[in-house]
Amino acid sequence: MTPLLNLSAICKSFHGVAALEGVSFDLRAGEVHALVGENGAGKSTLIKVVTGAHRPDAGTLEVSGRVVAHNDPVAARALGIAAIYQQPALFADLSVAENIALGLERGGAWRWIDWRGRRARARSLLARIGADIDPDAEVRSLAMPEQQLVEIARALGADAKILVMDEPTASLTEREVDNLFRVIRELRLHGVGIVYISHRLDELFQIADRVTVLRDGCTVATRLITEVDHAELIRLMVGREIASVFPKQTVPLGDLVLELRNVGCRASGVNGIHLTVRAGEILGLAGLAGAGRTELARCIFGLTPADQGEIRLRAQAVSIRTPGDAVALGIAYVPEDRRRHGVILEMPVAVNTTLAILPKLTHFGFFDFRRERSLAEMFVQRLGIKTASIDAAVGDLSGGNQQKVALARWLATEPAVLILDEPTQGIDVGAKAEIHRLMGELAGRGLAILMISSELLEILGMSDRIAVLRGGTIVGTLDRADATQEKVLALALGHALSTEATPGRQIQT
Amino acid sequence: MSPPASPNPDRSRGRRVLGTHDLILVVLLAIEVAVFSSYVDTFRTVENGFEVLRYSVVVGLLALVMTPVIVTGGIDLSVGSLLGLSAVVLGRTWRDLGVPIYLAAVVTVGVGLLAGGLNGLFITRLRIPPLIVTLATFSLFRGLAEGLSPGTSTFPPLPEAFTFLGQGYVFGIIPTQLLLFPFAVVGVWLLLHRTAIGRAWYAIGFSAEAARYAGIPVERRLLLAYVLAGGAAGLAGVIYVSHLGEIKANSGTGYELTAITAVVLGGTSIFGGRGGVPGTLLAVVAIVVLQRGLRMADKPAEWSGILTGLLLLAAVGANQVATKLADRRTIKG
Amino acid sequence: MLLLLLAAAAPTFYAGDKPRAILVSCAPLLVLAAGMTVVILVRHIDISIGSQFALCGVAAGLLARAGLPMPAVGVLTVLLGTAFGAVNGGLVAGLNLPSIVVTLATLFILREGLKWYGEGELIKDIPDSFQWFGLGQGVGQWLTVGVGVVVIVVFALGLRYLAAGRMVYAVGSDAEAARLAGIRPKRVVFGAFVLMGSLTGLAALLNSVCFPDVDPKAGEFLELQVIAAVVVGGVAISGGRGTLIGPAFGVLLLATLGPALVFLHVGAHWDKAFQGAIILLAVAVDGLTLGRRKNVATGLAKP
């Protein structure tokens, strides 16, 4: 039988960096073919080649046995390919109904719009996946999970033969995931082929027929899902055992540095937070997406200032109204969205390094360029930042090195409290281990560290204590000694412990 | 749909004073001077050189302070109107309040600073795009200027001690206001290229949000840029009046567009983050030389506007092509 | 809020034949506002329309003087505007240049080019068939107003009910998402500028037939007036948000202002000051309410 979709020897590079190096992949009608790999392995690039968003440099793409010479989003849609992207590609200013319609309607620019039809169609598609969303709502006003559901509804409406799903469940609740799986099984019966990408390996065993593992832009293996188990998948993805990734050093704890008493912020939904961090301690902040972890960090750092409670630093009540206040008090925040907030991509490494200490590098009004360069050189050495020079734009570095620059900026402030928000998200294994080593070293020098992470292994491996958030507040704190994956998840999900068999948020590697 | 600002490897924004773009402007300027000298004998004389520069001062001041504004990714359409308002404020404080003219000049600059502050507050406090705020104050300031100098009211001749500022010569040859200009240039250059404030302006221009995450007081820095622009417009108004010897509500009409043109022609990106004072300065001189040269060569004055427009298109077009080529090189390599 | 302001000005003032005069003077502005709304909705701007407007007006006058029949004059004028729009659109969409810089340049080129050609003098000796399309003042005025209203209504409906109109919103809201949805953003942007050009030609025609002679200075600072009307009408400068109803009222409001001030004995020279203050006030109110909405949105939609 001819496969529905056949990719062979696909190559694609960006700015001289190879993202795909000869990837082959096939999809049969009526199967769910999972695609797994670490961040940066090339999954997203591969599906963008399928949907025509990227044009491959080499290799062939066949749909139902016919070679597609020229692929773009329009051509792909005509071939019956639809996709759910990892980051919803929705129009924030437009209504839900219109967002769904724009992906589906065909015809010329001068056709009349049937608004009632659009609404009805949106309503029925949303009902099919059990989503209760008003078709007239502006997408801007929707929360992330709802946007994801709109994206799914839109892809379903395409009646595609080939459906690509990139992390469709990343922010969904369990009930919504169940609904989605039910729909996927229906589609499979109708002969639709589904490419399914997920970090939640448990899901694959529920829904997938076959699995293909990508690593560093190459196909490592394609197996029947029944032939592999969890451990083997991870081994294939990582290419080595993962034991050595979290080198936690034990550090003697010092004095109390940061204390939050009943802190809350109405604007961002954080409330009633009590926590303490001591010098040398790493406090892990766990919780599901949307539980309020980043919001708490933004609150401490003055981005959305607290309007309730008291923040105390070294036993002194402090007022933090702006990020500037926080920096002056010795609080540093390495944000989650590195590319948008953590660094300025267009600016050189040196400039990024000193951006938080501009006042300190000013003498009699003038900026000390020499000191900037020596500082930057020092951090490039100390953190092992791989860059052509300190004058290279940060945008030219790899993700891991960008993160190190973001870290360097905050280490340059010589902070007392360091807040790390998803410090290793989207960077490769090697850089990840280095950042973990660094965290240990910093704690050893007496920094109080707050670490937000969605990776349970990272949380469990790095933290001295773990505070779990749900609904904008801390629902429990666990000591390193008695923290387990199950306990953290139970708190995060708000379930009684023993009953929960399939955790919502699983291991990411 | 701003195109992604791709890093330009040729120009490290470190410590170099002149970049590639600036060198192109220098060449352009040289060509202009060469062409006009061959047409007009007196073109390349010292006197004419100073005269050219005298004309540069008013527009130069506006372009100078427009540079930080555009570097932050903003724009100020109101400076031309504010120049007009300043002229009228100067006249009325002097004539109607009986204030000595030099004190009136100080008051005028103060009004300029306040007006700039008004722009800045709307932009930072209410988060309204600068284009819109300054479009509104473009109307408001010009309207106030017209309202405060109803129709036919005339002003008595200005004291000679004052017009000396705009028409006189120091040492018999150097136009007076030209002595002021270098201070302004050096001041803005130092601020933009040699201080933490300037660094903050660039960071804001690339990404205001990321600058905030780095602890930079984004709103205060933006406010400063617009206050500065307002103050300079006030000063430009004073100089304009003393040069012209007359007070008119329509002073400086269209100057905002010339100033913006100079800044963009000087290589500052309209999206913010790139550019600087040397480019702006070269572009101002290039534009003024063009205007003056055409007049001396008895060519229609309109040519300068047409040529400036074409140059502007060529400049941004060349920039775009250069970035694309640079990208292609890195892909191949 | 705009309606309230209008209503406050209205009762004392909408008497006599003033309304008609105001409406006639509004007609070209309405036409321009329709085009500018489309351009701003795709997240661009065109500040060269003042120069285009003046040039098209002069062209219309010259063509009429050359003895062309009125319909031909109209078609050629609109075509000339279309050509200008195509140049702007080509540079912006084709070469990916920032629209504010491109149209700043074309503003200069066209304006100075016109001055060079005509030396700022009125185009006179135009045949009588030109003014009011040769239909006499009464009919001509109503025809002018009618065209303005028809353009606004057609564009308002088109933006809402035509696929092309929705593409404008999609591209302005998120060009990359639009590309993924199979829309070609460059074509849409190009189209917006071409439309702007055609409408500028039409507006210039409507304006020039109001007078016996054509004034080449007619379009000065027109671009800022039109942008102001569109922005006061609630169209977001960041693209993708707003309708044509607001800009239509924006035009009426700003056009009513001058006569209203005269009526209230304030003096016409305060006209611009009030205009500026009103724009500032309108966007400030908008900014305050929108700012609140934004905060709520980020609080909810934080990933």
For B52-99, the pLDDT digits (tens) are: 788 788 999 999 999 999 999 999 999 999 999 999 999 989 888 888
Strand partners, A67: A62
The verdict on ipTM greater than 0.90 is: no
Would you say residue B5 has pLDDT above 50?
no
pLDDT for the residue A367: 92
Task: Encode pLDDT of A222-236 as tens digits.
Answer: 999 999 887 788 778
DSSP letter (8 states) at residue C266: S
Q: What mean pLDDT comes out for the span A420-440?
A: 83
Give the integer Cα–Cα distance in Å for B272 and B318: 18
Of B13, B15, B330, the CB nearest to A16: B330
Q: What percent of chain A has pLDDT over 90?
A: 47
**Residue C272 has which token pair?**
């611009």
Which of C89, C91, C57 lies closest to C76, judged by CA? C57
Q: Which residue among C170, C172, C236 sits closest to A102, beta carbon to beta carbon?
A: C170
- Would you call C108 and B317 a contact, using CB atoms and an 8 Å cutoff? no
Dihedral, CA atoms, C155, C156, C160, C164, nearest 10 degrees? 10
pLDDT at C41: 95
Give CA–CA dist C206/C200, Å, rounded: 10
Average pLDDT over residues B36-56: 78
Give the range with max mean pLDDT: A263-272, A328-337, A455-464, C233-242.
Answer: A328-337
CB contact under 8 A, A348 and B13: yes
Query: What is the per-residue pLDDT across A168-194, written as a single tens digit (0 to 9) for each?
Result: 877 677 788 888 899 899 889 988 999
Give the pLDDT band (50/70/90) at residue A84.
confident
Find tokens 């015809």 and name the residue.
Answer: A107
B18 falls in which pLDDT band (50, 70, 90)?
low
- The CA distance from A349 to the nearest CA of chain C, in Å, is 28
CA angle in degrees (0–180, nearest 5) for A305-A307-A308: 130
Q: How far apart are CA C206 and CA C220, in angstroms?
A: 16
Sign for the pseudo-dihedral over CA of C291, C295, C296, C302 = positive
Shortest CA gap C180–chain A (Å): 6
User: Residues of A with CB below 8 A from C234's CB?
Assistant: none
- How close is the nearest chain C Cα to the Cα of A279, in Å? 30
The whole-number average pLDDT for the span A426-445 is 83
CA A305 to chain CA mean position, Å: 25
Partner residue opposite A143 with nearest CB, options C165, C182, C300: C300
Most confident of A19-23, A155-159, A408-412, A441-445: A408-412
**Residues of chain C contacting residue B150, judged by C-beta atoms under 8 Å apart:** 267, 269
Residues in B closer than 8 angstroms to C286, CB to CB, are: 128
Say yes or no for a CB contact (<8 Å) between A89 and C299: no
Predicted confidence band of residue A17 (pLDDT cuts 50, 70, 90): low
Q: Residues A110-146: pLDDT tens digits? A: 888 899 999 999 999 999 888 889 999 999 888 777 8
Angle at B112 between CA B108 and CA B116, to 5 degrees: 170
Provide the percentage of residues in chain A whose pLDDT is more than 70.
92
A142 CB neighbours in chain C (<8 A) are 300-301
Quote the pLDDT of residue B17. Answer: 52
d(CA A260, CA B280): 50
Q: Residue A157: enclosing H or E segment and its boundaries?
A: helix A144-157
User: What average pLDDT does the segment A78-89 reach?
Assistant: 83
Residue range A50-65: mean pLDDT, rounded = 90
Nearest CA in chain B to A336: B213
What integer pLDDT is reported at residue A276 of this predicted model?
Answer: 94
The rounded distance, in Å, linking the Cα atoms of B28 and B23 is 9
Question: Could you tell me the sign of the dihedral formed by the alpha carbons of B316, B318, B320, B323, in that order?
Answer: negative
Burial of A430 (0-12, 13-18, 19+ CB in 10 A): exposed
Q: Which residue of A has its CA nearest to C180?
A: A73
Q: Where are the alpha helices (DSSP H) in chain B?
A: 20-39, 46-71, 79-96, 101-125, 130-148, 160-167, 176-194, 196-206, 208-213, 218-244, 255-265, 277-296, 302-332
Confidence (pLDDT) at B3:
36
Instruction: List all chains that touch chain C, counting a touch as 3 or more CB pairs closer than 8 Å.
Output: A, B
Q: Which of B283, B60, B71, B49 minimizes the C-alpha distance to B186? A: B60
Q: Which positions in chain C have a beta carbon within 8 angstroms of at least one beta carbon in chain A?
A: 160-167, 169-170, 172-174, 176-183, 236, 239-241, 295-297, 299-303
Residue in the structure block whose two tokens are 């410090």 = A423
Q: Which residues pair with A276 in a beta bridge?
A: A259
A73 and C179 in contact by Cβ < 8 A? Answer: yes
**CA neighbor of A219 nearest in space, from A10, A54, A56, A3:** A10
Helices (H), chain C: 2-9, 18-41, 49-65, 70-89, 95, 99-118, 137-161, 163-173, 175-180, 185-208, 222-232, 245-263, 271-301
HSE-up of residue B240 (Cα within 13 Å, Cβ side): 33
Q: Can you give the pLDDT at residue A222?
A: 93
Contacts of C160 in chain A (CB under 8 A): 113
Tokens 């999609």 correspond to what residue?
Answer: C170
Report the share of chain B in percent with pLDDT over 70.
Answer: 89
**Nearest CB to C303: which of A93, A107, A289?**
A289
Residue B299, pLDDT score: 81
Q: CB contact, 8 Å: B306 with chain C? A: yes
pLDDT class for B202, splitting at 50, 70, 90?
Answer: very high
- B261 shares contact with chain C (CB less than 8 Å): yes
> So what's the pLDDT on residue B1?
34
Give the tokens for residue C180.
């993924």
pTM to 2 decimal places? 0.84
List the single best residue of B1, B12, B213, B323 to mutate versus A (max A Cβ within 10 A). B213
pLDDT in tens, A372-398: 999 999 999 999 888 888 999 998 887
Residues in chain C with CB shorter than 8 Å from the CB of A268 are 299, 302
What is the model's pLDDT at position A370?
93
Give the range among B31-45, B62-76, B301-315, C204-218 with minimum mean pLDDT.
Answer: B31-45
CB contact B127 to A (< 8 Å): no
CA gap B78, B136 in Å, rounded: 8
Residue that wins the pLDDT comparison between C268 and B180: B180
pLDDT for A508:
36
Residue A11, phi then psi, degrees to nearest 5: -125, 145
Cα separation, A361 vs A374, in Å, equals: 12
DSSP annotation of A95 reads B
Residue B323's pLDDT is 66
Which residues of chain B have a CB within 8 Å of the CB of A348? 12-14
Q: What is the mean pLDDT of each run of 10 residues along chain C (303 residues)?
A: 52 59 87 96 94 94 89 94 96 91 91 83 79 78 91 95 94 89 92 97 92 83 88 86 90 80 71 83 72 34 25
List Cβ neighbours of C81 (8 Å cut-off, separation of 6 or more).
Answer: C52, C56, C197, C198, C199, C200, C201, C202, C204
Which of C164, C182, C303 lies closest to A144 in CB terms?
C303
d(CA A480, CA A503): 20
Say what the pLDDT of residue C11 is: 53
Any idea what DSSP says for residue A394?
A: G
Tell me the backbone φ, ψ of residue A10, rounded to 5 degrees: -80, 130
Q: What is the pLDDT of residue B16?
A: 47
Instruction: Inform me whether the pLDDT recorded for B39 exceeds 50.
Output: yes
Decide if pLDDT at B8 tops 50.
Answer: no
What integer pLDDT is reported at residue B333 of this predicted model? Answer: 31
Residue A96 has pLDDT above 50, yes or no: yes
Q: What is the pLDDT of residues B247-257, one digit of tens each?
A: 888 888 888 88
Out of C45, C189, C276, the one facing B137 most closely (by C-beta) is: C276
